[in-house]
Chains A and B, each alone.
Chain A
Amino acid sequence: MIEKAVEEIKSAGVKISTNIEDRIAYCKDYNPLHLPKLLKKELPALPQAIAFPKTTEEVSRILQVANAYGVPVYVFGGGSGVIDAATPYDGGIAVSTLGLDFVDVDEENMLVRAGAGVVGGRLEKVLNHRGFTLRHSPQSLYCSTVGGWVATAASGQFSTGYGNIENLLISLTAVLPDGEVVVERATPRRAGPDLKRIFVGSEGLLGVVTEAVMKIFPLPEEFLTLSVEYESIGDAVRDAKALMQLKPALMRIFDDEESLRYFDSESFTLIAVFEGKSASAKLKEAKEMVSGEVADGRAEKWLEKRFDVSDISRIVPLGFIFDTIEVACFWRDAEKVYTEVLKAIRGVEGTVTASAHASHFYESGLCFYFTFAGLPADIESYYEEVWRKAVETSLRNGGNLTHHHGVGRLRKRWLSAEIGGYYPLLRDLKSILDRRNILNRGVML
C-alpha cells in the first residue's frame, strides 16, 4: 500500500523521499526518552517515506492519497515537541511542513501571514528588522515552527503581556484528514463559533495547519526590568498576583533551587519586564508595590540565558534523564501545587534535582514549570513513575494536566479527567473528520 501511495504522491508532483537519511531525520520528536535510545544507536520509530509539500494544495493531495490507501500520516514541523506526538510509531508517511515557508508582513494592519513551516527565530529576526515583533517566544523559538505552535497550543516567555498563540491568531488555513482545505477570511473579529480553535492544541489529530495570520507588535521603545527576592514561594506568588494589575510583558518566579542555579542565591526570585511607553511609570509603581527585596540584575542574567538548553547535552550521555512538567492552576492552589508536585517528584528514587519556576501568569492564576533530572537504574520506569506521580498530584491539588507542551502520547491517559465531557466530543470529531484514522494515529486519544 505504502509503495502505491508513494508513487501516486510522486506522480502528483509532490517531493517524497524513501531515502534512509531522510527517514532517520523524521524518526522522533524531542521527547527525552528518545535520547538514551539514540545514544544506544536505536531508532524510536521509522517512517517509510517523507513528503515535502510546498503548498496547501500539495498537503491536500498527500492526505487524499493517504486516505485512499489507509496509510498513516504523521505531521512534522521542527520536531521540537516533547510529548511524543510526532513520532511515527506506525510507520507510514511523515509530512514535513517545513516547505511551507513564506512570510508576508502587513505593516499597516500589524499582521504577519506565515507558512506553517516558518521557523520562529527566523520569523522574529525578519520582523525585528522591520521594527516589529511577534512577542511569541517559547524556549524552542529557534527550532520550532508556526504550524507546531498552533498544533501544540504553544505559549511563550512574553505570554503574560501578549497572550498565548491562540491570542495572537487572526486566521488559519488547514487541511482536513480527507484533504479538504478549510480557510477563513481574516478579520479583527469574526462571526459565529471560532472553529479554527479546534486546531489549536489538536496536535495534528484533526488536520494539518498550513498557514496562519498572526498579530505583530511594534518593537517596544522601552524595556525595563524588575528583580525581587523573597523568603518563600507564597510571598512571591502574592506579589505576582498584585503585579498583574500593571500588566507586565513578562513575569517569572524562580524557586530557591533555580535561583541558586541562575543567580547563586538561595532565596526565591521574581523577575518582571515592563515594556512600552508607560514602562517607567509601571516599574516605579511595581517597586513600591512589592513586599520582597529588590535585587537588581537577575532579570538580565536570566534573559541572557533563556534559550540555553545545553545542560541536556551535557548530562544525558552520563545516563541522566531530564524533563519538564508544566501545569496551570488558580491562585488559591498555587502554593499547594508547587509544594506537593515537587515533593512527589523528589520522592521517586533516582531523582537528583527537582525544581520549579512560575512562567506564565493570568488574571486568575499561573503556570508552574517543574524541572527534574534523575539518574535511575532504569530510565523508562523512573520516567513513567515521575510523570504519573507529578500529574496525579497536580490534578489532585487543583493543578491541571498541561499548560503549553501538549498531551501527545505522554499525557493522554489523563486527558478525559481534564476535559471531562469534551473528551467524547473530541473523539467524535476525530472519527467524523478522520474516518480512516490516518492522521497522527495514537496521539492524544
Chain B
Amino acid sequence: MINPKVISRILANTDLKTKMRLAKVVPKLGKADEVTRCMLCPNMCLYVCPVFDAERRLTVSPSVKARLAYLGETDDAIYHCLPCDACKNACPMDISVNDNLRTFRGGEVALRAIERFEKSIKVKIEEREGRILYFPGCRTFESNLFDKTVEVLEKLGIEFALTSVDCCGMPYYELGLVDKFREKISKLRQVASKYEGVISNCPHCVHVMRENGIKAAHILAVLKPVKIGGDVSYHDPCILARKLDVVEEPRKLLAEMGFEVHEPAFSGKDTHCCGYGGVYRYIAPDMAKKVAERRREHFDYEIVTACPSCKMALKGKDIVELMADAL
C-alpha cells in the first residue's frame, strides 16, 4: 500500500508524459511473478543459502537460479536447491526459491535422481493395529532410528499402528515428478484416513502430509521427558522450525530431560540446513556432504536434533535416541 501523501507528491512533481505512463503501469504494481521478482533482487539471501555456501558459485545462488529459470536454462542448476526455505525466511517478499523452481523440474536430472533415491529405500515394517498411525518415513530406517522409536513409543505406553506404506512422495514432489507424487500421497491419504492421526520422526513427511490434508504431527508431540542431563547443542531441522513452526518444544523437552541446551550460530527459525533435506543428496551427493560438514562447524557441544536426515548428516543424536538409551 503506497502512502497517499507519497502519491500526491509524485503527482505534483511529475511531468505530464510521465504521469500518463504512470497511469498505465500502476495497476500492474506488485503483479510480477515470484521468479521475476527474485531474479531482479541482488541476491539478498545469499549469506543464508546452504547450497551456495557449499558449492561457492553464483550459478546455484538463489536469484541466479531464478534468472536461469526465467531464461529457460533449466538443465542443471535449478535442481541444486534444498527445501530449507532459508531464502524465504530472509526475504522481505516472502519468496521461496525452491517452491518456485519445482515447476521447472522434471527433466533428465530428476529422473536420474529419483532412480538413486528409489535404490536407497530400505523399509521393513511388520504391520500392527492401533488408534494412531506411526509413519516412520524412509529416512528413519536409513538412520537406524526405527527400532529405537518403536521401543520408546512402547515404553511410553503409546498405542500405535504400523502399515507397510513406505513413502510420503516428497522426493517426487521436489523433483517435479507430479504424477508419481500424486500416486504416492493418495495411497498414504487413503491409509491414514483409517486412523485418528499420524505421527512421524521425519519433519518432511509431516509437512507433506499436512499440506495434503492428512492430520499429522511430529513425534515430539507424543514424547515425555526422561531425566538424563548434560550439555548439548540443538540443531533445528529446517522443515520442523520453519514449516511446522516447532522451535520451543524440543528445547523445552531437552531442558526437562536435564540438558543444558547451547545454541549454535544459525538457530531457531534462522537455522541452517544440514544438506540432507529434500533430494539434494541424490543430485550432488558430495556437495550435500559439504553442507553437512560446514553445518557441523557451527556447534560447540554434542549435536542433538529431531529429524532422521539431520541426525545422519550431522552425525548427531535424535532426541528419540537419547530417550531410548535412557529408558
A residues contacting B by CB (< 8 A) are: 19-22, 24-26, 30, 35, 38-39, 41, 50, 52, 76, 78-80, 96, 98-99, 101, 117, 119-122, 125-126, 128-129, 140-143, 257, 260-261, 264, 266, 307-310, 312-320, 346, 349-353, 374-377
Contact = CB atoms under 8 A, between A and B. Distances in A.
Interface stretch (B38-46, B185-193, B211-219): B38-46
Contacts of B21: 319, 375, 377
Nearest to A52: B57
B14 A78 contact: no
A79 B91 CA distance: 18
B9 A98 contact: no
Interface stretch (B67-75, B150-158, B171-179, B277-285): B67-75
Given A260-B9, A318-B28, A319-B21, A142 B47 contact: yes
14 contacts: A21-B77, A35-B40, A38-B67, A38-B71, A41-B70, A98-B58, A99-B56, A117-B56, A142-B90, A143-B45, A310-B41, A312-B42, A317-B36, A375-B21
B83 to A, nearest CB: 21
B59 interface: yes
Given A25-B59, A352-B14, A375-B22, A317 B40 contact: yes
Contacts of A20: 73
Nearest to A80: B42
B208 to A, nearest CB: 29
Contacts of B75: 21
A143 B266 CA distance: 17
Please name the 7 residue pairs, one residue from A and one from B, whose CB atoms are nearest each other, closest first. A121-B47, A129-B265, A313-B37, A317-B32, A25-B59, A318-B25, A143-B43
B40 A350 contact: no
A118 B56 CA distance: 10
B18 A376 contact: yes
A314 B29 contact: yes
Contacts of B10: 352-353
B9 to A, nearest CB: 7
Contacts of B93: 310, 313
B59 A22 contact: yes
B25 to A, nearest CB: 4
B53 interface: yes
Nearest to A353: B10
Task: Tell me which of B14, B58, B71 has the highest count of chain A C-beta atoms within 10 A of its own C-beta.
Answer: B58
A98 B73 contact: no
B48 interface: yes
A119 B46 contact: yes
B56 to A, nearest CB: 4
A363 B283 CA distance: 55
Contacts of B76: 19, 21
B58 A314 contact: no
Given A143-B47, A317-B40, A24 B57 contact: no
Contacts of A76: 58
Given A141-B47, A310-B92, A346-B13, 14 more contacts: A24-B67, A25-B67, A78-B46, A120-B47, A142-B47, A310-B37, A310-B41, A317-B32, A320-B25, A349-B18, A350-B18, A353-B13, A375-B18, A375-B22
Given A260-B9, A310-B93, A313-B40, A319 B25 contact: yes
Nearest to B297: A126
Contacts of A375: 18, 21-22, 25
Contacts of A308: 92
A375 to B, nearest CB: 5
A122 B47 contact: yes
A98 B36 contact: no
B98 to A, nearest CB: 17
B5 A260 contact: yes
A196 B70 CA distance: 41
B17 interface: yes
Nearest to B26: A318
Contacts of A319: 21, 25
B73 A24 contact: yes
A121 B46 contact: yes
Nearest to B2: A261
Given A264-B3, A317-B40, A377-B17, A25 B56 contact: no
Nearest to A35: B40
A78 B57 contact: no
A50 B26 CA distance: 40
A79 B43 contact: yes
Given A119-B47, A143-B42, A101 B56 contact: yes
A341 to B, nearest CB: 15
Nearest to B94: A310
Given A312-B40, A316-B40, A96 B18 contact: no
A41 to B, nearest CB: 6
Contacts of A260: 3, 5-6, 9
A418 B89 CA distance: 43
A309 B47 contact: no
Task: Tell me which of A24, A143, A314 has the highest count of chain B C-beta atoms within 10 A of its own C-beta.
Answer: A143
Contacts of A129: 264-265, 298
B6 A143 contact: no
Contacts of B29: 314-315, 318
A79 B53 CA distance: 15
A25 B40 contact: no
Nearest to A50: B57
B303 to A, nearest CB: 15
A18 to B, nearest CB: 13
A257 B61 CA distance: 34
Contacts of A349: 15, 17-18
A342 to B, nearest CB: 11
B56 A98 contact: yes
A124 to B, nearest CB: 8
A101 B5 CA distance: 46
B57 A309 contact: no
A378 to B, nearest CB: 12
B64 interface: yes
A312 B25 contact: no
Contacts of B61: 25
Given A313-B93, A375-B21, A38 B9 contact: no
A279 to B, nearest CB: 26
A27 to B, nearest CB: 9
A25 B57 contact: yes
